[in-house]
Structure formats: structure tokens, C-alpha cells
């Protein structure tokens, strides 16, 4: 089976691919089509199936691996699949490791590096709260993606995103010693834990009912309050400030935060979160290009196209 990263323009294949997402569309002439994103362990690629029939729609289920007959086209400076036919496969017989993108770090590395960060927190109340949060979220923290599709949207992405933010936080703290290291690091480590409930599973692109109705910020905030109650520190300033970091980490009300950052640590947490997400998004997009090429317009980055330098 040829991997997506090795596809070349004008290639033709019939092989299994995982459907990462599927949306229905209609042409100007009223003909139905499917807008698909396919994935294997090497990456993902957009695809279209024109003149889609009801039987095609029945097979095109996000999260399933299907057999796809397709040709590879170059469209708007990026490869894309023109699909001719989709065939259902027995999902029980499929080795999903062939189709899941994973973090560049092993689970063992992620666990060890993050444990070092937790153990380094000097403030006992904050360290106990963070440890309690890790106990509450469990193993899923090291398996889940960090987002449905934009950044770190792969197995282990949540822990990798958290580790990347922690490393950045450590460097920023050196430059701005007025920051409280223990508080900022604690916020980094727990801020996205609610994603393990918000997202519907290991397959990016799906949200749970609870996630749709409440969101990961409120889920995580509730957990912090529960942990603080169990540790009998709910009235402490540490618990209050940590709750604020969780609630404000998206930075603005229109981005989903119920409050805006009102401490130095909260402001920095939002900036680090945004920086790490954007760098991961760009790294993934540019990794598929040759030097001197441009990305497609990137919706998550204001619709801009980015250039891969020849330097």
C-alpha cells in the first residue's frame, strides 16, 4: 500500500484509506458531491467524489477505513484525490495503526517528561492540584489529540502540545522573572485536560455530546473545583488563580473564554497556547511542500498562504 506522503500527481490507486471527515456539497447545477479528507499513518489529503450517489454517502463514514479507487491531481498547488468509487470494508479486520497519525514522541517519553515538570512545582498546593488533575484524567491524556483538526490533531497530540508549551514557558520565565513559575507551569499542564471529554475519541474530527454542550474549558474548570474541594484547598488563592488560568486561556470572550486574562500568568498562557498551536499547524502544512512552494490558504491563520523558503 502506497502511503499518502508518497503520492505523486497522476498516480492511480485502489487501496484502503481512513476517512477523517466527510461533508456533503452541491454543485451550481445541483449535482451532489462529497468533500472528503483521507488519512493514513503518514499524513492526510483532501479528496472529492463527484456525482455522489446514496450508496456512496452510506459508505463515507468518518472514522471508517474504506477501499478507495482514485487518481491524484494537482489543484491550487496541492495534491488532491479525485475519487471514483468507495467500497465498504470489515472494520474489525483492519490494523488501525496503519491509518493513525501519532506524536513524534513515544507515550513513555511524554509521560516521563511531563512527570518531571509536575515534580518540579515547588508550591505544594499547586503541585497537589496538578497531580490530582492528572489522576482524574488518567491515561486518556497521553492518547488524545489536542484538537479536532487544526493543530496536534493526532494520537498523543494533547500531551505533545502540553509539553511544547511547558518548554516555551520555561524559556519565557527566564526572560520575565516577575512571572510565577509554579502558577504558569501548573496552568500549562492542566489547561486542555477537558479535551479528553470534549473530543469524541482518538479519531480527530468528532466531538462528544458533552463536549458540544459544555466545551473543554468549563469541563476542566469543573474538575479543578472538584480537586480543590477534595484537597480542602478550594478557598486558597492558588486554586482561584488556577481556575482563572483555565477559564481565560483562549484569551477573548469571542474565542470561548468566559473571562479574559487578568494576571500576568494568564496573559502568557494564552500567548504560549496560541504560539504552540500555530507553529504545529505551520510545521505540518510546510512539511509536505518542496522549497519555493506555497501552502494552500489556511483558514486557521486568517486565510493566508505561507511560503517555504529555499534558504
User: Model pTM?
Assistant: 0.81
Phi-psi region of 201 (alpha: psi -120 to 50; beta: other; left: phi over 0): left
Q: Which of 40-54, 118-132, 137-151 has the lowest mean pLDDT?
A: 137-151
Structure confidence by residue, pLDDT tens digits, 197-236: 888 766 655 788 888 899 999 999 999 999 999 999 999 9
Mean pLDDT score, 131-139:
95
Phi-psi region of 175 (alpha: psi -120 to 50; beta: other; left: phi over 0): alpha
pLDDT of residue 36: 93
pLDDT of residue 46: 92
pLDDT of residue 224: 97
Residue 273 pLDDT exceeds 60: yes
Q: What percent of the chain is predicted at pLDDT more than 90?
A: 64
Residue 18 pLDDT exceeds 80: yes
Query: Of 55-69, 74-88, 263-277, 289-303, which has the strongest mean pLDDT?
Result: 263-277
pLDDT of residue 202: 63
In 3-state terms, what secondary structure has residue 191?
coil
Could you tell me the sign of the dihedral formed by the alpha carbons of 276, 282, 288, 289, in that order?
negative
Closest CA to 184 of 165, 159, 164, 198: 165
Domain boundaries, the chain: 4-98, 107-284
Mean pLDDT score, 249-271:
95
Mean pLDDT score, 282-311:
87
Residue 117 in contact with residue 134, Cβ under 8 Å? no
| Cα angle value 111/281/174 (rounded, 5°) | 60
CA dihedral 147, 302, 188, 232 (to 10 degrees): -80
Beta strands in the chain (DSSP E): 12-26, 32-40, 43-49, 65-75, 78-88
CA dihedral 297, 284, 287, 7 (to 10 degrees): -80
- The CATH number of the structural domain formed by 4-98 is 2.40.50.140
Mean pLDDT score, 304-308:
92
Q: Which of 39-48, 113-122, 199-208 has the lowest mean pLDDT?
A: 199-208
State the helix-helix crossing angle for 107-119 and 124-137, rounded to 10 degrees: 150
**Can you read off the three cell numbers belonging to residue 39?**
488519512
CATH topology of domain 107-284: Hypothetical protein af1432 (1.10.3210)
Residue with cell 482518538: 202
pLDDT of residue 76: 78
Amino acid at each position: 500500500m502506497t502511503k499518502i506522503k508518497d503520492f505523486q500527481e497522476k498516480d492511480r490507486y485502489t487501496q484502503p484509506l481512513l476517512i477523517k471527515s466527510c461533508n456533503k456539497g452541491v454543485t451550481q447545477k445541483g449535482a451532489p458531491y462529497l468533500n472528503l479528507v483521507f488519512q493514513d499513518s503518514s499524513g492526510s489529503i483532501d479528496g472529492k467524489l463527484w456525482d455522489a450517489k446514496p450508496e456512496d454517502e452510506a459508505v463515507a463514514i468518518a472514522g471508517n477505513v474504506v477501499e478507495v479507487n482514485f487518481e491524484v491531481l494537482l489543484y491550487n498547488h496541492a495534491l488532491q484525490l479525485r475519487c471514483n468509487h468507495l467500497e465498504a470494508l470489515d472494520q474489525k479486520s483492519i490494523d488501525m495503526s496503519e491509518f493513525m497519525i501519532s506524536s513524534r514522541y513515544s507515550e513513555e517519553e511524554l509521560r516521563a517528561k511531563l512527570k518531571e515538570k509536575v515534580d518540579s512545582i515547588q508550591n505544594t498546593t499547586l503541585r497537589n492540584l496538578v497531580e490530582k488533575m492528572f489522576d482524574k484524567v488518567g491515561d486518556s491524556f497521553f492518547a488524545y489529540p489536542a484538537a479536532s483538526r487544526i493543530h496536534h490533531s493526532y494520537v498523543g497530540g494533547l500531551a505533545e502540545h502540553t509539553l511544547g508549551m511547558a518548554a516555551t514557558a520555561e524559556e519565557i520565565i527566564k526572560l520575565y522573572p516577575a512571572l510565577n513559575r509554579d502558577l504558569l507551569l501548573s496552568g500549562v499542564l492542566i489547561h486542555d485536560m477537558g479535551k479528553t471529554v470534549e473530543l469524541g475519541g482518538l479519531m480527530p474530527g468528532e466531538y462528544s455530546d458533552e463536549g458540544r454542550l459544555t466545551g473543554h474549558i468549563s469541563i476542566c474548570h469543573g474538575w479543578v473545583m472538584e480537586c480543590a474541594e477534595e484537597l480542602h484547598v478550594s478557598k486558597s488563592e492558588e486554586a482561584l488563580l488556577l481556575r482563572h488560568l483555565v477559564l481565560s486561556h483562549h484569551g477573548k470572550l469571542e474565542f470561548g473564554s468566559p473571562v479574559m486574562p487578568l494576571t500576568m500568568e494568564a496573559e502568557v498562557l494564552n500567548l504560549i497556547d496560541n504560539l504552540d498551536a500555530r507553529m504545529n499547524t505551520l510545521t505540518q502544512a510546510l512539511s509536505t511542500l518542496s522549497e519555493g512552494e506555497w501552502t494552500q490558504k489556511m483558514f486557521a491563520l486568517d486565510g493566508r498562504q505561507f511560503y517555504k523558503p529555499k534558504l
